[in-house]
């Protein structure tokens, strides 16, 4: 599965583009997170690797901006397990273990579509980074997140 971030500008945010793309191309999308209002939206989805080119083309044809989200990396040498990041995480990706150390579950993290923990960390122990070798096909309009 490949995670991609779909950005919907205001002029298309009220269109059922995800549903129509799933039906038209039989792509099995998994929606990880969504933030949508009248001014636009961001939806983080997982797409099967074999369908990624088809999905990216289909969304771009409809005016959706498609990018690869950055994921978090935690520098364990810098982390002092203060817990400042823990209560901010909207997805439950950060937990505190029995020995009071802070634990990150990257499978639950929605990366740069959130980034709250990275902003809050007093030690700058959390950075947003791209997975190596992960590209959006034909990413001419890709923006740095």
The residues of the shown chain that bind ligand SF4, judged by CB under 6 A, are: 72, 74, 79-85, 88-89, 91, 93-94, 102, 104, 109-111, 114-117, 120-121, 123, 125-126
User: In whole angstroms, what is the distance from residue 138 CA to residue 145 CA?
Assistant: 17
Burial of 73 (0-12, 13-18, 19+ CB in 10 A): middle
Separation CA 38–CA 44 (nearest Å) = 18
Q: Provide, rounded to whole angstroms, the least separation between the CB of residue 60 and ligand SF4.
A: 26
Helix, strand and coil content of the chain, in percent to the nearest 5, comes to 25, 30, 45
Q: Which is nearer to ligand SF4, 12 or 31 (CB)?
A: 31
Phi, psi of 68 (to 5 degrees): -90, 125
Smallest distance, ligand SF4 to C-beta of residue 7, A: 17
Taking the complex as a whole, how short is the minimal distance between the CB of residue 65 and ligand SF4, in angstroms?
Answer: 20
Strand pairing class (65-67; 40-47): unpaired
User: Minimum CB separation from ligand SF4 for residue 69, in Å?
Assistant: 10
Cβ proximity to ligand SF4: between 5 and 121 the closer is 121
Closest to ligand SF4 by CB, 55 or 94: 94
């Amino acid at each position: 599965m490949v995670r991609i971030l779909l950005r919907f500008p205001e002029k298309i945010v009220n269109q059922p583009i995800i549903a129509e793309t799933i039906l038209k191309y039989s792509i099995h999308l998994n929606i990880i997170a969504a933030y949508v209002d009248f001014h636009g939206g961001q939806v983080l989805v997982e797409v099967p690797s074999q369908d990624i080119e088809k999905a990216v083309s289909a969304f771009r044809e409809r005016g959706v901006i498609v990018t690869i989200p950055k994921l978090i990396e935690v520098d364990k040498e810098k982390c002092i397990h203060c817990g400042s990041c823990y209560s901010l995480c909207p997805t439950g990706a950060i937990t505190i273990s029995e020995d009071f150390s802070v634990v990150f579950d990257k499978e639950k993290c929605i990366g740069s579509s959130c980034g709250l923990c990275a902003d809050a960390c007093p030690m700058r122990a959390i950075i947003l980074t791209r997975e190596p070798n992960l590209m959006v096909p034909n990413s001419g309009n890709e923006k740095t997140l």
